[in-house]
């Protein structure tokens, strides 16, 4: 049961708790299968602690300074370019036509402002999604590579 609990802790991203649990069950376990699996999961719980994450605050701050930079920080290069070009395509005409046609300039400025705010918000969400996808990929690879998955342990206990 401790093995299954440790596996659940990995899924919940409680890597430190999982590591301490796998350390405790690696010594003196009744079956070799569980020992091998717990040693594998012990190493994976240590790897899980070092998964690089992106800061939503930093991503939003970067996109505040340069539109699209926060998305680039989250390895979303296409979105970064699109954000930069979209905001530039609305703000530059707004500034350029300010003297000639203030109504047009204000309209495009308002549209550009909405894109700008959406870019900042999207960058923060992009960082959260990046972190979530990193952990989900790590868990999927761990569950595929574990020598004795929880499903096989459950059938062996019956």
| pLDDT at residue number 35 | 63
| Cα–Cα dist 74/84, whole Å | 15
This prediction's pTM = 0.79
Other CB atoms within 10 A of residue 124 CB: 20
| pLDDT at residue number 93 | 92
| pLDDT at residue number 158 | 45
| pLDDT at residue number 85 | 96
| pLDDT at residue number 157 | 46
Residues of the chain with pLDDT under 70: 26-37, 150-158
| pLDDT at residue number 21 | 84
Residue 80 token pair: 């970064």
Using a 10 angstrom Cβ sphere, with 0-12 exposed, 13-18 middle and 19 or more buried, the burial of residue 52 is: exposed
Closest CA to 85 of 68, 70, 97: 68
């Amino acid at each position: 049961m401790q093995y299954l609990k440790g596996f659940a802790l990995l899924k919940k991203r409680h890597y430190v708790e999982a590591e301490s649990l796998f350390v405790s069950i690696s010594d003196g376990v009744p079956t070799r299968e569980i020992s091998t699996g717990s040693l594998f999961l012990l190493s994976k719980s240590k790897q899980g602690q070092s998964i690089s994450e992106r800061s939503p605050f930093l991503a939003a701050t970067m996109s505040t300074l340069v539109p699209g930079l926060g998305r680039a920080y989250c390895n979303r290069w296409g979105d970064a370019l699109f954000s930069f070009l979209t905001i530039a395509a609305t703000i530059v005409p707004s500034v350029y036509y300010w003297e000639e046609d203030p109504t047009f300039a204000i309209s495009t400025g308002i549209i550009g402002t909405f894109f700008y705010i959406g870019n900042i918000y999207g960058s923060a969400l992009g960082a959260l999604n990046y972190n979530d996808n990193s952990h989900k990929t790590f868990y999927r690879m761990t569950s595929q590579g574990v020598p004795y998955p929880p499903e096989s342990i459950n059938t062996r206990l019956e």
